[in-house]
Amino acid sequence: MSHASSAPNPLLAGWATPFEVPPFGEIEVGHFAPAFEQALAGHRVEIAAVAGSAEVPTFANTIEALERAGRTLGRISDMFSNLASANTSEEIEAVERDISPKLAVHFSRLYLDEALFRRVDDLFRRRQTLDLSAEQARVLERYHTAFRRAGAHLPREAKERLAAISERLASLGTLFRQNILADEQDYTLVLQGEDDLAGLPDDLRAAAREAAEARGMPGQAVITLSRSNVEPFLQFSTRRDLREKVFRAFIARGDRGGETDNKALIAEIVALRAERARLLGYPSFAHFRLDDCMAKTPQAVRDLLGEVWRLARERALLDREALQKLIQEEGGNFRLAPWDWRYYAEKLRKARHDVDESQIKPYLQLDRVIEAAFYTATQLFGLSFHRRDDVQVWHPDVRVWEVKGPDGRHAGLFFGDYYARPSKHGGAWMTTLRDQERLCGDVHPLVVNIMNFNKATDGAPSLLSYDDARTLFHEFGHALHALLSDVTYPVVSGTSVLTDWVELPSQLYEHWFERPEVLRRFALHYKTGEPMPEDLLRRVLAARTFNQGFATVEYVASALVDLEFHSLPQADRLDVADFEAKTLAQIGMPEEIAMRHRSPHFEHVFASGGYASAYYSYMWSEVLDADAFRAFEEKGDIFDPATARKLRDHVYAAGGSRDPETLYIAFRGRLPTPDALLARRGLAEFMPAGET
C-alpha cells in the first residue's frame, strides 16, 4: 500500500466490486486523510439538518434520519479499522494516531448536541403514543440512553470537559495498542540449534522457521510474542531457561520502560474515565459502565466472579501440588514457576488422561476445523458456504466465502484471515466491513474473522491446538451473530448488543466443536485421513476440564483487576504496577499463575472502552451459554431443529432489537443459573453440598 496518487479517491466513489466489497487493491494510504475529512464534513451537514429541523420530531425525521446519516464515514472507518488491526504499517499507524481523536471529537459533538438531544428526548417522553414496533421502541431507547450517557443533558462546561476527555482517551487508546504491537514486533528469541529446539513438536518448529522468514531471517527459527507461539513453546520446550525468557518477555509487553511503556497511559486512562463517571453522576467508572449492562452493578459482578474465583483457586492449588510433585519425581530441586506450569501440566494431563497435545494436533487441520464450523452452521441454521476468489482482500492469506441462506439466496460474505504476521495485532477477533440492515435497502453483511495461527510451510497443512480450534469456533460464533442478523436498523444489528450478552453466541458455538458428532466427522489425521480413534476421542473429551482451575484463575484475575481499577472514585497519582500487585495479593493470586492479560498489554480494557469494567462479561455470558446448550442436550439432539429455530430467532438473528433478558427467556423459557457453568469448568465438585 503506497501513498495516494492524483487519481480520484476510490474511498469516496461507489464501489463497483463484487458485493460492493471495499476495493482494497486500489486503496493507498494517502487516500484516507482526505476521505475522512470529506466524510466527516458530510456527516456534520447531515446531523445539522436533523438538529435544525423546524418539523415536529418524529421517529422518521429524527431517529431514522440519524440512522441514515454518515454512511460514507462508516464504510471508510470500518475499512480503515480493519487495516489498522490486521495489516498495519508505520504509515497506517500515523493516520490512526491522527484520525482517532478527530473521530472521538466528532461523535462527542453529535451526542452532546443540545438541539439533537431535545428531539430525541421529546420522542422518548412520547414513546407510548408513537405506535412504534418493538424494534423501533428499542432503537429509540438505545439512542436516548446513548445521549444521556454521553452527557447531552449536562451544563455546557461539563459537556465541553466530556468532549475533551473523549478526545484524549481516543489518543491514549491508539498509543496503547500501537505500543504493544511495537513490543511484539521488536522481540524474537532466536533458537540456536537442536538444543534450543528440544521438546518442540514438528509443527511448532515449522512455525518458528516461518516466523523467522517473515522477519527477514531465512534459514533460522524464532519464537515471537504471538500467543500462538508463546503458549505452545511454554507447553513443550524442555529448556527451562528459554521458557523463562519467553514468559518474561510475553508478560512485559507494554511494561519495558521507554517510549512503548503503557503504565503512564493506563494511569491517565483510569483517571479520565473516573472523571467522566463523576461528571455523569456515578461514584465510579465501573458503576457508570455496568449500569448499561445485564449485570447492572459492580457488586453483581463481584458476586459472580468471587464465587467462581474461590472454587477455581481451590482447584488450581490442588493442581499446583500435583505439578510440584512431578518436578520432584523428575529430580528437580526448584519450585514451580509461572513458566513451568504449562510444561508440567502437559505431563500431568498425559499421566491422568493418557493424552497430550502432540496426539491431538495431527487431527485438527485448520481447513478441516473451518469445515466443521461451516457444517455446524449448516446443520443448525441451513447456511451454505461457497468459496469466492473474485473478491478483493487486504492480504493474500485472506479467504472469502459467500454465505447463502436455507432458501439459497445470498446472505453475506465471510472473510477468514487466519495466520499470524508482523503487520497484524495479536489475538483473535471478529469485525465487520458492513452490517446487515433493511433501512436503506436489503443490505447484506461483510463479516471478518481474524486469528493468529501459525502458518505451516512447504505446503503442509496448518495444525491447531485444541484451544486454537475452539477459538476458531468462538470467533465464528460472533461471525454468525452478524451473518444471521435480521433487523431493520443498523444501531441494533448483529453484535451491537450489551457487552455481557455479546459473548453468548460465540461461547455457545464452542460447545459444538467439543461434541463427538462433530469431531468424528472432521478430526481427521492430516497424513492418513483416518478419523480420530474412538479411544483417543473418549480421552480427549474426558480431559476437557483438565487444568480449568489454572485457566479460570488467570481469566478471573484479569477481570477482577479490571473491575478494581475502574471502581476507583478517582485515580490521581495512580501507581499502576503497585495497584495491580496489591489487588492480586488481596484476592490471593497464586504466584505460579500469571494474569491472562496483565494491565500494560490489556487491549480489551485500555486500548478502547469496549471491555473496560466489563472483561467479566465472558464469564457472565458463560452462565448463559452453558445453560443454553443444555436446551439441545435435553432434546437428545445437538442439532434439534425446533431448538435451533428458537436459537436463531431469539439470539443470533435478533441483534440488539430487544432486551437481552427478554430474548433469553424467549429462547429458553427462563433465566439461567450458574450450575451448568460450574459443571462445564469442572468446578462443581468443589461446591459445598446443597449449593448450586
C-alpha cell at 311: 472454587
Which neighbouring-strand residues pair with 446?
A: 413, 434
In a domain, 300, yes or no: yes
C-alpha cell at 540: 480427549
Please give the order of strands across the beta sheet that includes 446-453. Answer: 384-387, 399-404, 410-419, 446-453, 429-434
What is the enclosing helix (H) or strand (E) of 385?
strand 384-387
DSSP string, 501-548: HHTHHHHHHHHHHTSHHHHHHH-B-TTT-PBPPHHHHHHHHHTTTTTH
Told to judge if 475 belongs to the known catalytic residues of this protein, a careful annotator would answer: yes
In a domain, 226, yes or no: yes
Residues 244 and 262 placed together within one structural domain of the fold: no
Residues 309 and 233 placed together within one structural domain of the fold: no
Among 99, 123, 150, the domain boundary falls at 150
In a domain, 237, yes or no: yes
Residues 315 and 337 placed together within one structural domain of the fold: yes
What pLDDT shows up at residue 2?
Answer: 46
Residues 83 and 122 placed together within one structural domain of the fold: yes
In a domain, 37, yes or no: yes
Main-chain dihedrals φ then ψ at residue 354, nearest 5 degrees? 55, 45
Q: Report the CATH number that the domain containing residue 286 is assigned in CATH.
A: 1.10.1370.10
CB 225 within 8 A of CB 420: no
pLDDT band at 71 (very low <50, low <70, confident <90, very high): very high
In a domain, 235, yes or no: yes
Residues 202 and 262 placed together within one structural domain of the fold: no
In a domain, 657, yes or no: no
Residues 217 and 301 placed together within one structural domain of the fold: no
Residues 340 and 271 placed together within one structural domain of the fold: yes
Residues 223 and 268 placed together within one structural domain of the fold: no
- pLDDT tens column, 236-292: 999 999 999 999 999 999 999 999 999 999 999 999 999 999 999 999 999 999 999
CB 664 within 8 A of CB 677: no
Residues 93 and 210 placed together within one structural domain of the fold: no
Between CA 588 and CA 500 the distance in angstroms is 26
For the chain, give the longest Cα–Cα distance.
Answer: 83
- pLDDT tens column, 178-237: 999 999 999 999 999 999 999 999 989 999 999 999 899 999 999 999 998 999 999 999
Main-chain dihedrals φ then ψ at residue 625, nearest 5 degrees? -70, -35
pLDDT band at 427 (very low <50, low <70, confident <90, very high): very high
CB atoms within 10 A of CB 582: 11
CB 606 within 8 A of CB 262: yes
**Nearest residue to 513 (alpha-carbon basis) of 522, 502, 504:** 522
Report DSSP state, residue 127: G
In a domain, 494, yes or no: no
What's the mean per-residue pLDDT of the chain?
A: 95
Given a cut of 50, whether residue 555 has pLDDT beyond it is yes
- pLDDT tens column, 128-141: 999 999 999 999 99
Q: Which domain holds residue 554?
A: 258-355+547-615
pTM for this prediction: 0.95
In a domain, 181, yes or no: no
Residues 89 and 107 placed together within one structural domain of the fold: yes
Among 230, 251, 272, the domain boundary falls at 251
Among 596, 615, 634, the domain boundary falls at 615
Query: 3-state DSSP call for residue 404?
Result: strand
C-alpha cell at 338: 509461572
Main-chain dihedrals φ then ψ at residue 281, nearest 5 degrees? 90, 20
Average pLDDT value for residue range 559-570: 97
Classify the C-alpha dihedral 66-70-71-74 as positive or negative.
negative
Between CA 163 and CA 608 the distance in angstroms is 16
Give the total residue count for the chain. Answer: 692
Between CA 345 and CA 319 the distance in angstroms is 8
C-alpha cell at 317: 492449588
Given a cut of 60, whether residue 423 has pLDDT beyond it is yes
Residues 145 and 271 placed together within one structural domain of the fold: no
C-alpha cell at 358: 502432540
What pLDDT shows up at residue 458?
Answer: 78
pLDDT band at 12 (very low <50, low <70, confident <90, very high): very high
Tell me whether strands 222-223 and 384-387 are parallel, antiparallel or unpaired: unpaired
Between CA 142 and CA 656 the distance in angstroms is 9
Which residues have C-beta within 8 Å of that of residue 183, sequence separation ≥ 6?
A: 225, 252, 253, 254, 256, 260, 601
Residues 74 and 144 placed together within one structural domain of the fold: yes
Report DSSP state, residue 201: -
CB 556 within 8 A of CB 312: yes
C-alpha cell at 20: 460492493
How many structural domains is the chain composed of? 3
Catalytic choice (357, 402, 475, 592)? 475
Between CA 127 and CA 145 the distance in angstroms is 14
Q: Report the CATH number that the domain containing residue 107 is assigned in CATH.
A: 1.20.1050.40
Given a cut of 90, whether residue 522 has pLDDT beyond it is yes
Alpha carbon separation from 564 to 304, 312, 527, 560 (Å, rounded) = 15, 19, 50, 6
What pLDDT shows up at residue 679?
Answer: 86
